[in-house]
Structure 1
């Protein structure tokens, strides 16, 4: 079973759900706002993929941070920011067994999950 992490109103999450359904891939959706965010899970994702991959700097939430908040980001600071503002986590994050895919890339999704 694939676990899809994100926020239900996100267009990329909607696109990912459609892609999974079109490929008959069963999934469970975990909404950070509804289901919460496990800090230990987030820390593991950051350790495995790098905070630069997990932190979405293109989103509105990140852009609204103060210059002080954006300064000197490292893994620990990223973990704190992402825990406080899960909307800054790059979407989607898909996990199945030991495989993790961050972001929507159709060829990567096919390679990993099909």
Structure 2
């Protein structure tokens, strides 16, 4: 099983996820959106499982600070991907991608119950 956590290190939800994963001895790679970047090739596969509106955080500070014209331009998955590439902080965090031989699971946001459910049933 390969586990990758995507986010920004100083995000409270990312911190909670990293702490939970560490406490439960889950080996995880961390992809820092700010340092490692965000590309359409990174996000597009996620959108095969997730609706773009789940991934785009319209409630956060970064979204609210975007010019209204940029906000209004986000009307579909393609425009949402472009917005997320240009402003990675608008991606709802963390994004946890779990790859097994059988499947790829993607979880957005931190939910201790969901993490527990997934990691205890897959162990």
Same-fold status (TM-score > 0.5)? yes
In the TM superposition, what is the alpha-carbon distance from 1:47 to its structure 2 partner? 3.0
TM-score of the superposed pair, with normalisation by structure 2: 0.86
Mapping of residues 7-46 of structure 1, within 5 Å:
7-46=8-47
Q: 5+ residue gaps in structure 2?
A: none
Tell me if the contact between 2:56 and 2:84 (Cα under 8 Å) persists in the aligned partners: yes
Mapping of residues 1-114 of structure 1, within 5 Å:
1-71=2-72, 73-97=75-99, 98-114=104-120
In the TM superposition, what is the alpha-carbon distance from 1:65 to its structure 2 partner? 1.5
Task: Classify the secondary structure of the residue corresponding to 1:101.
Answer: strand
Displacement over 6 Å in runs of 4+:
none
In the TM superposition, what is the alpha-carbon distance from 1:22 to its structure 2 partner? 1.2
In the TM superposition, what is the alpha-carbon distance from 1:25 to its structure 2 partner? 0.9
Measured in 1, the distance between the counterparts of 2:38 and 2:66 equals 20
Give the number of equivalent residue pairs. Answer: 114
In the TM superposition, what is the alpha-carbon distance from 1:113 to its structure 2 partner? 2.2
Measured in 2, the distance between the counterparts of 1:113 and 1:39 equals 28
TM-score of the superposed pair, with normalisation by structure 1: 0.92
Q: 5+ residue gaps in structure 1?
A: none
RMSD: 1.2
Tell me if the contact between 1:99 and 1:112 (Cα under 8 Å) persists in the aligned partners: no
Measured in 2, the distance between the counterparts of 1:47 and 1:70 equals 23
Task: Classify the secondary structure of the residue corresponding to 1:57.
Answer: coil
